[in-house]
């Protein structure tokens, strides 16, 4: 009997930790979009998420659909990706022109769509991209893409989709990757890359010069357990979603921890294996949108800590 009790204790320790055990707080001012299901307005394991003007958002789930929602969470449009049987996109980003760049992960390419789902172009298929993960666009219009497979690298394209540079490598050293995932351009123009396999975030210049390591493996506040996605807040801080840790952590521009929110569960302020995060600053109050993958929904909440 005692052996069963001991086994249960080990299983609990190795599962997603609760908010109380790491000093986190549940998400605040929560609204929910969607829920389990394959009908329109519902989700099957949502992953890729992006905020749009007027507090709209677009979400891609594992059913191969992109769904557009308004600020109140009402469905406005839905369209299918051109191909999705081999796998589903992990990330997407908006452009200054109002289009969408989708990291078409398992097809090893980037596709640009308008908001009606019309394909405008595709690129990156012949330059060595592997599994395409995080994507963002810099102030100069260049497009940064995280890729992993045999190699772990970052690709930089110009706005027309022409390859400018490839940098990065697989390894355990400073500034090296093991499965890069989310990617975001910070307010100062540097690149933040979620180094998922090493449970940390790395900062680089646009040309790939290593600058900083943020976080380390673990479940304590400020540490990561399978971080997946990242987005920046208008004041220079940034938020990171932690899949196994079932939480979102906010860091100041210098990489110091500001707040931790989340915890494991199905309640409104809790999460289950979240894989995507997007910050919306288009309304009067900044907010963040979380692809709550395991709960098959999007969680909209206040950004933790004061936002200037």
CATH number at residue 219: 2.120.10.30
One digit per residue, the tens of pLDDT, for the chain of length 308 reads 443 333 333 333 334 443 333 357 999 999 999 999 999 999 999 999 999 999 999 999 999 999 999 999 999 999 999 998 988 999 999 999 999 999 999 999 999 999 999 999 999 999 999 999 999 999 999 999 999 999 999 999 999 999 999 999 999 999 999 999 999 999 999 999 999 999 999 999 999 999 999 999 999 999 999 999 999 998 889 999 999 999 999 999 999 999 999 999 999 999 999 999 999 987 778 899 999 999 999 999 999 887 77
Instruction: Tell me whether residue 15 is in a domain.
Output: no
Strand ranges (E), 81-199: 91-94, 100-104, 109-113, 119-123, 131-137, 143-148, 152-157, 163-167, 180-185, 191-195
Instruction: Tell me whether residue 7 is in a domain.
Output: no
* Nearest by Cα to 245 from 32, 44, 24, 31: 24
Instruction: Tell me whether residue 262 is in a domain.
Output: yes
Instruction: Tell me whether residue 14 is in a domain.
Output: no
Total-model pTM = 0.91
Instruction: Tell me whether residue 5 is in a domain.
Output: no
Instruction: Tell me whether residue 269 is in a domain.
Output: yes
Which domain does 125 fall in, by range? 24-302
Q: How many domains does the chain have?
A: 1
Instruction: Tell me whether residue 10 is in a domain.
Output: no
Instruction: Tell me whether residue 201 is in a domain.
Output: yes
């Amino acid at each position: 009997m005692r052996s069963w009790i001991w086994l249960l204790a080990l299983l609990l320790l190795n599962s997603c930790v609760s908010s109380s055990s790491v000093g986190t707080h549940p998400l605040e001012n929560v609204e929910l979009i969607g829920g389990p299901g394959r009908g329109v307005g519902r989700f099957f394991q949502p992953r890729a998420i992006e905020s749009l003007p007027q507090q709209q958002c677009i979400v891609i789930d594992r059913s191969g659909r992109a769904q557009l929602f308004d600020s109140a969470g009402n469905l406005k449009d839905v369209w299918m990706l051109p191909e999705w049987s081999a796998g589903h996109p992990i990330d997407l980003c908006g452009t200054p022109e109002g289009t969408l760049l989708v990291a078409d992960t398992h097809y090893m390419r980037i596709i640009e769509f308008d908001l009606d789902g019309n394909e405008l172009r595709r690129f990156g298929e012949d330059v060595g991209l592997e599994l395409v993960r995080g994507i963002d666009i810099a102030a100069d219009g260049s497009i940064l893409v995280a890729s992993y497979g045999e190699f772990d690298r970052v690709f930089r394209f110009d706005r027309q989709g022409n390859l400018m540079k490839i940098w990065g490598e697989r390894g355990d050293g400073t500034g090296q990757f093991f499965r890069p995932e989310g990617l975001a351009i910070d307010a100062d123009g540097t690149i933040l890359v979620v180094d998922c396999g090493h449970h940390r975030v790395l900062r680089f210049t646009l040309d790939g010069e290593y600058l900083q390591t943020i976080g380390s493996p673990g479940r304590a506040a400020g540490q990561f357990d399978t971080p997946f996605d990242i987005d920046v807040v208008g004041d220079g801080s940034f938020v990171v979603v932690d899949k196994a840790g079932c939480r979102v952590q906010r860091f100041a521009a210098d990489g110091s921890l500001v707040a931790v929110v989340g915890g494991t569960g199905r309640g409104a302020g809790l999460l289950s294996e979240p894989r995507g995060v997007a910050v919306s600053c288009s309304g009067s109050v900044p907010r963040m949108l979380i692809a709550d993958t395991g709960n098959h929904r999007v969680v909209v909440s206040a950004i933790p800590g004061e936002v200037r």
